[in-house]
Structure 1
Amino acid sequence: MNKSFDDLSIVDDYMFYRVMEDTDICRKLLNIVLRDKVEPITEIELQKTIADGGGAKGVRFDVWAKSKSGTIYDVEMQAINKKDLAKRIRYYQSAIDISVLERNQPYENLPELFILFFCTFDYLNKGLPVYTFHTICNEDKTIRLADGITKIMVNSKDAEKEVNPELKAFLHYMNGKVSSDPFIQKIEQRIKGIKENETLRREFMLINNFERDARNDGWIAGMQQGLQQGMQQGMQQGMQQGMQQGMQQG
């Protein structure tokens, strides 16, 4: 069941990317996770879509941010565990790489890339509030492949285990617990402003209606396809049975 606009929280896609539209909030959250290593954000795109005309699966990113040095941050909120997060991250990385490297450019021009998923569940079931992945050599764990990709899964389910107080407060906030932490209060004020914005309220309603209609159209198309396939199979089966009976009687 879809939430109403007034009931949206930070873990809902629309509210998350509207909050992260504020470059200061976006950079602050990234710095909390990445320990103050994020440069000023110069570009932010919401719901950035990469569609391949050749028929490959398209991708839509919640928040696509770029720093002044060109580092790209894909920041996602995931409230439902679809059991595909590892492969999804793999595909997101490939889609981003293809979209940013123009023809005839050398591979060295690929920017540093961070893919962060903030999850309300523990995808790996290992009890860590943060999982950070780099490409490491199996034979010697001290050797790291400098491919420029960092993949991070943040798990709010184990918020209490997080030692960083700011990140801990944000993870609890994802779980619905509002604190007096200054950053959380800044987000709360941002959300309040969003909910008071009638233009954004109408936008959310339009998006909801569009997605609902798309789902309904897909359901109807699926039913029609299923009926057509069923009719075709029934006709083929009937013809085969008729031919067999005719041969037996003959």
Structure 2
Amino acid sequence: MLSETKLMVGQILQDRNRAETFLTDVMETELSGFRHVYQKNALLDVFGETGPRPDIMIEDEDNNCFVIQCLGKADGDLIQLRRRYQCLVDDYYFHQVGCGMDFPELYIIFICDYDYFGFGLARHYAGDILDDGSEIEDGRHMIVLNSQYRYANAEPKLMELLDRIRSSEAA
């Protein structure tokens, strides 16, 4: 069923207007226009290596970068995958303009057909937390969308998408 989910989400994200609506719902705020949208083979060119790559990377005009990946249960550890994507994106920006630039805010968004954290939340923000309980504020963020949610804590249109993913998995 993951391939159907990837296809459904891929169709949504290929259309710039639908992708912007999706990200607005995920981020729960209005976004600036898109500067670049990288998909499929373009991501191989952007990251210059094989191995796990996101499904799409979007840069907006406010210096935000959104990396989006659909995942099934067998796709591994989200924390390791997050760190891989952070390194890929940081390397990409470092090679674009060098070390003197401000790296963009990076939002890694995983769309899962399972509840990775076990909290039952439809939308879960996961920051890096220090031992004292404070969040590391490095401009790197992870948002996990869970189609197997028990608590509808996201925008209605996003909930509709998660429900569609859930129903396609049950079929």
TM-score class normalised by the smaller sequence: 0.7 to 0.9
List aligned pairs for 1:1-250, cutoff 5 A. 9=4, 11-12=5-6, 14-47=7-40, 48-49=43-44, 50-52=47-49, 58-102=51-95, 105-106=98-99, 108-141=101-134, 144-158=135-149, 160-163=150-153, 164-176=155-167
Relative to total residues, which structure has the larger strand share, 1 or 2?
2
Structure 2 counterpart of 1:218: none
Q: In 2, are the aligned partners of 1:83 and 1:123 still within 8 Å (CA)?
A: no
1:124/1:136 CA distance change after superposition, 3 Å:
closer
Larger radius of gyration: 1
TM-score by length of 1: 0.58
Count, aligned residues: 163
- SS of 1:61's equivalent in the other structure is coil
Q: CA deviation at 1:30?
A: 1.0
CA distance, structure 2, for counterparts of residue 148 and residue 73 of structure 1: 12
1:108/1:120 CA distance change after superposition, 3 Å:
same
| Structure 1 segments unaligned to the other structure (5+ residues) | 178-250
Percent identity over paired residues = 20
- Note the alpha carbon deviations across 1:80-103, whole angstroms, 9 max, x for none: 433322211111111111111128
Relative to total residues, which structure has the larger helix share, 1 or 2?
1
Paired letter, 2:160: A
CA distance, structure 2, for counterparts of residue 170 and residue 103 of structure 1: 35
Q: In 2, are the aligned partners of 1:17 and 1:46 still within 8 Å (CA)?
A: no
**How large is the Cα RMSD of the aligned pairs?**
2.5
Q: CA deviation at 1:162?
A: 0.8
CA distance, structure 1, for counterparts of residue 73 and residue 61 of structure 2: 33
Paired letter, 2:141: T
Q: In 2, are the aligned partners of 1:51 and 1:59 still within 8 Å (CA)?
A: no
Q: In 1, are the aligned partners of 2:54 and 2:67 still within 8 Å (CA)?
A: yes
Runs of 4+ in 1 over 6 A off after TM superposition: none
